[in-house]
Structure 1
């Protein structure tokens, strides 16, 4: 059976004042794999806060190279050195804001593996692509272009995040989520965890987790506070 996973992406949010939130989330973790991906500045402090608990820490992106003249970037080995055990790759905000292509995402995923990190590889369609009936074609192309050979449930998690639902308050309908996740399951096999992301909150988590082939969530804003994120973790544990 695929592993149940609740992952939080803090994006460009959080300073040292947020560390107690991670501690409260850590105290509630354990029933399912629980991950927080804070800004790189907080990976070390959150790793310390999570010591002795089941909470895992991840990075939000990595450069494909192990080192070099890449001002402002961070390598997968640096993330691991700071305490991360996971790394998000291919998030739509990276694809859009930084022009990252499928080839870039594949290289980053391979770099994460080389550093001993488990990749959380994101794919998702825009509203225009969905309205044009292109969703499954777009996602299949992204997956085939971004996912390196050798991907297994041990080194990779797939996160479906419709671009039009990220941070908008809109959530794909259960039928829409089920259609995509069923297609992804056929593509990646029975063991790899498939996460849904896109305005996941405590109020809709249970309905999403009840769907076949939804093994958890990649959560944005609702992961910043323990009061918001812990109920999502608990809903997944109960599913």
Structure 2
């Protein structure tokens, strides 16, 4: 696996919009992306579960040349079977190329790193790319405390994935992305310092592999996106995971433009 040639922008729409509005927004973003010259393969959209099929169908049918990827926001830790309400990873094949796993908003509902690791293993086994979220929770903490918290999350979920048959080599071959999301910054309008994000990237790579690709997510705006890509080597970032700002085509593509100028 090699590093991405250009930063990846992942738009996480969460549960903000009904499916019909998600399809409309996806169309607006695609048309605006073409007009603004967005590089193919540099954008991925994660609609709600109900929006996955119609959004993916629209992008494949009318905007295939833009190569806008589609990701699910979660997946089951279970294989197909009698599991009411679950969505096995294999059922997402042909609809999405990636799955966001372990987002802090899922952890807030009681999801553990052990459960996330099992979901990672199911995702990789299905041939999909995991986007694994890790993050520190305390607004006031030392840098070393933040590194230790995130490394502990990574070690636990990676160990769980390994027990389920998914090795670090398999994670790398699947193109795994690790998204560092400072939990205290999400939805607050305040982002982490780019130097902290770069240091966190280095800490994650130290505990996994220098080849792992890392995103930053946490109240991202176009006005402060570029400095996150000043790092090099182990502290480099490979893209952004964007929440609220991705619900507007203009703000999302402004961030994409900032990434383009920084890469």
Give the alignment partner of residue 103 of structure 2, picking from 82, 91, 103.
91
Q: What is the SS of the residue equivalent to 2:178?
A: strand
After superposing the two structures, state which structure 1 stretch, 84-93 or 145-154, moved more.
145-154
Structure 1 distance, partners of 2:70, 2:228, is 24
Return closer, same or farther for 1:180/1:153 CA change in 2, 3 Å cut-off.
farther
Return closer, same or farther for 1:192/1:31 CA change in 2, 3 Å cut-off.
farther
Matching of residues 85-164 of structure 1 within 5 Å = 85-97=97-109, 99-127=110-138, 130=141, 134-147=145-158, 148=161, 149=167, 150-152=170-172, 154-164=174-184
Task: Tell me how far 1:128 sits from its aligned partner.
Answer: 5.5
Structure 2 distance, partners of 1:209, 1:94, is 27
Task: Tell me how far 1:32 sits from its aligned partner.
Answer: 4.8
Structure 2 distance, partners of 1:22, 1:121, is 23
Give the alignment partner of residue 27 of structure 2, picking from 20, 23, 28.
23
Aligned partner of 1:56 in structure 2 is: 69
Task: Tell me how far 1:5 sits from its aligned partner.
Answer: 1.2
The number of residues matched between the two structures is 237
Check conservation: 2:143, 2:196, Cα contact below 8 A. Answer: no
Task: Tell me how far 1:115 sits from its aligned partner.
Answer: 1.6
Check conservation: 1:2, 1:191, Cα contact below 8 A. Answer: yes
Structure 1 unaligned residues grouped into runs of 5+? none
1:196 aligns with 2:219: no
Normalising by structure 1, we get a TM-score of: 0.91
Return closer, same or farther for 1:89/1:129 CA change in 2, 3 Å cut-off.
farther
Q: What is the SS of the residue equivalent to 1:200?
A: coil
Structure 2 distance, partners of 1:190, 1:71, is 39
Give the alignment partner of residue 218 of structure 1, picking from 241, 244, 252.
241
Return closer, same or farther for 1:34/1:132 CA change in 2, 3 Å cut-off.
closer
Superposition CA RMSD, Å: 1.9
Structure 2 distance, partners of 1:221, 1:22, is 15
Task: Tell me how far 1:116 sits from its aligned partner.
Answer: 1.5
Return closer, same or farther for 1:48/1:121 CA change in 2, 3 Å cut-off.
same
Q: What is the SS of the residue equivalent to 2:179?
A: strand
Structure 1 distance, partners of 2:156, 2:23, is 36
After superposing the two structures, state which structure 1 stretch, 175-184 or 26-35, moved more.
26-35
Structure 2 unaligned residues grouped into runs of 5+? 162-166
Structure 2 distance, partners of 1:152, 1:208, is 23
